[in-house]
Amino acid sequence: MTPDILTSVLATPGLVWLVLTISVAGIVRGFTGFGTALIFVPVANIFLPAADVIAITMLVGFGGSAALLPRALKVAEVKDVSILGGAAILTVPLGLWVMTQLPQDAIRWTAAVIAFAMLSALVLGWRYRGRIDMKRLLGIGAAGGAIGGMTGLTGPAVILFYLANGSRAEIVRANTILFLAMLDVVIVANMTIGGLITWQMVALGLFLAVPYFLTARVGQGMFDPKYEKTYRTMAYLVIALAVATGLPIWD
């Protein structure tokens, strides 16, 4: 990292808040397998343009994947997650295109509404009782790709169904870790091809990836399937706080 780029990173608006937020997100991601974007995106949207937030969220995600993916691969349902990821690959470009057409506040409100809707469904006990077959996997993956490209929230569609259908905590955690890792790569690749990523974004992403990697390892060490309800409750509270903080009404 050159001195000029490092200087630009240190001059990032709200850098202290970004570091604190990504550190908390790392802990939550470590013990639940999800939550990074739901926590980081609403807060980061206060300080940075939407395209920057999406790119940085995905780049930082590489740190979490490096910390969590090796163990998750031993538990994840790789076949199902591959179908989800394959469908998402096709819809990420659409989501990115929509993102470039919307004003910043519209993206912030969209991200907040999606995060709040997911959180409300889970807290209120929404449950999908049907079988998740091939068509549903493709639909869920496609929704995840489009929403991820538009807002940076790559997980809600997938996480909602996996949590809601009663899957065991370790399976939910492993599947979401694998899916989010795939989407990080896909979205960064599409943004790079589209010229939406700058070296300053990459540098800031690498800078934030350090505390994220470390706190994700801490969260992973905290994980114990016996305390599944505790993990979910903690994650819900943190997500709710992040969503409320990031609402445009506070500007």
Query: What is the rounded CA–CA span in Å between residue 156 and residue 145?
Result: 10
Report helix, strand or coil for 213.
Answer: helix
Instruction: Tell me, yes or no, whether 8 lies in a domain.
Output: no
Residue 4 lies in a domain: no
* Tens digits of residue pLDDT in 178-225: 888 898 899 999 999 988 888 888 999 989 999 998 998 888 887 776
Query: What integer is the mean pLDDT of 218-244?
Result: 77
> For residues 149 and 92, is the Cβ–Cβ distance under 8 A?
yes
The confidence score (pLDDT) of residue 5 equals 79
Is there a domain that residue 78 lies in? yes
Residue 138 lies in a domain: yes
Q: How many domains does the chain have?
A: 1
Distances (CA, A) of 202 to 54, 56, 114: 12, 7, 26
User: Given this model, what pLDDT does residue 130 score?
Assistant: 63
Of 67-71, 127-131, 205-209, the range with the lowest mean pLDDT is 127-131
Closest to 95 in 3D by CA, of 34, 156, 136 = 156
Element containing residue 14 per DSSP (H, E): none
pTM for this model (two decimals): 0.81
Residue 251 lies in a domain: no
60 close to 208: Cβ distance less than 8 angstroms: yes
What is the model's pLDDT at position 191? Answer: 92
Residue 102 above 70 pLDDT? yes
Best CA proximity match to 122, nearest among 238, 232, 40, 26: 232
> CB–CB of 235/28 below 8 Å?
yes
pLDDT greater than 70 at residue 127: no
Least confident of 49-63, 98-112, 125-139, 160-174: 160-174
Structure-token pair, residue 56: 């940085």
- DSSP-assigned states of every residue in 77-106: -HHHHHHHHHHHHHHHHHHHHHHHHS-HHH
SS3 content of the chain, % helix, strand, coil (to 5): 80, 0, 20
Domain assignment of residue 127, yes or no: yes
Range of the domain at 205: 13-246
- Identify whether 74 is part of a domain: yes
Mean pLDDT of 109-130: 78
Dihedral, CA atoms, 232, 237, 242, 245, nearest 10 degrees? 170
The owner of tokens 């996996």 is 162
Q: What is the pLDDT of residue 170?
A: 77
Sign of CA dihedral 47, 50, 53, 55: negative
Predicted confidence (pLDDT) per residue in 28-66, tens digit? 888 776 778 888 988 998 999 989 999 999 998 887 777
Residue 3 lies in a domain: no
214-247 burial, b if ≥16 CB within 10 A, otherwise e? Answer: bbbbebbeebeeeebeebbebbbebbbebbeebb
